Amino acid sequence: MNKDKLEAIFSDDLGTAYFPLLAEEYLNSGDYDRALKVLEVGLLLNPNNNDGKYIKAKISMIQSDSKTAVKLLKEILVSDNLYINAMKMLALHYQSTGRNSASLIKVLHQILDLSPGDEFALELMKTTKTPKKIVSKKPKIITNKKVVKKRVTSKSKQNKTSVVVGKKPSIGANKDINPKMATLTFVDILIKQKQYSQASNLLKIINKNKSISKDSIDQRHKKIKLGLAKES
């Protein structure tokens, strides 16, 4: 259904369940203000519409209002624990901020429980370090007043990975970017975070997807070019 048809339906019936589709059309064309106006009316009349909340969460994330976005995504998952797209956006947020690694891992496992072998979740798993477990020291065993220490096998000393404390995981650090992660929303997040080079790389992948409008890609390309020019 094209935008003109959706606009006509929405104009005739503000309470239509099609309002998220119209809002998404505006979102994809970069008209966030109009998308938000549609969502405001639509969610007022359909407060439990998760698709509407999802589109609003996308826009909130793009506009750096992650608090609102996360709140909406969590609301969606409380009412529908099968809404995998909400899980994926939440995972992208956790991964991009470099915080809440435990929450990220939990969300990724939820995705894999629903869709075993999901490439998106597996790709993010590769960039996520599992939090170190705190190992309590074994007490010394005293036998006939002789102190006997438990022997540690050499295997426990092997395959240790170095962890840089406090270092934020790098988005797109892998040279091979999974096309399924290359969404316009993720590009917008990278632009907001001034990570223009990585946003440009993702945009090149998205450009191969013929279903995404050239105007949407061109708009973001201009933002990236402007950002890079300011940095130079």
E-only strand ranges, 67-219: 141-143, 146-148
Query: Which residue segment(s) compose the domain that 225 sits in?
Result: 176-232
In terms of domains, do 89 and 111 share one?
yes
In terms of domains, do 61 and 35 share one?
yes
Return the ∠ at Cα 136 (arms to 133 and 137), rounded to 5°.
135
Whether the per-residue pLDDT at 164 is higher than 70: the answer is no
Q: What is the pLDDT of residue 175?
A: 39
In terms of domains, do 114 and 69 share one?
no
Task: Give the model confidence (pLDDT) of 4-25 as tens digits.
Answer: 999 999 999 998 999 999 999 9
Whether the per-residue pLDDT at 76 is higher than 80: the answer is yes
**Residue-averaged pLDDT of the chain:** 77
Whether the per-residue pLDDT at 180 is higher than 50: the answer is no
Strands 146-148 and 141-143: antiparallel
Residue 229 lies in a domain: yes
Residue 170 lies in a domain: no
What is the distance between the alpha carbons of residues 52 and 19, in angstroms, rounded to a whole number? 7
Chain centroid offset of residue 102 CA: 15
In terms of domains, do 7 and 68 share one?
yes
Residue 140 lies in a domain: no
Residue percentage of the chain with pLDDT more than 70: 74
Q: What is the pLDDT of residue 176?
A: 42
- What is the band of 130 on the pLDDT scale with cuts at 50, 70, 90? low
Whether the per-residue pLDDT at 203 is higher than 80: the answer is no
Looking at per-residue confidence, does 152 or 66 come out higher? 66
Q: What is the pLDDT of residue 221?
A: 83
In terms of domains, do 124 and 186 share one?
no
Residue 144 lies in a domain: no
Residue percentage of the chain with pLDDT more than 90: 41
Q: Which of 61, 76, 91 is the last residue of a domain?
A: 76
In terms of domains, do 97 and 69 share one?
no
Residue 159 lies in a domain: no
Residue 231 lies in a domain: yes
How many separate domains does the chain show? Answer: 3
Task: Give the model confidence (pLDDT) of 23-74 as tens digits.
Answer: 999 998 999 999 999 999 999 999 999 999 999 999 999 998 999 999 999 9
Q: What is the pLDDT of residue 190?
A: 76
What is the distance between the alpha carbons of residues 137 and 106, in angstroms, rounded to a whole number? 28
Residue 125 lies in a domain: yes
φ/ψ of residue 147, rounded to 5: -85, 120
| Region 159-183 average pLDDT | 41
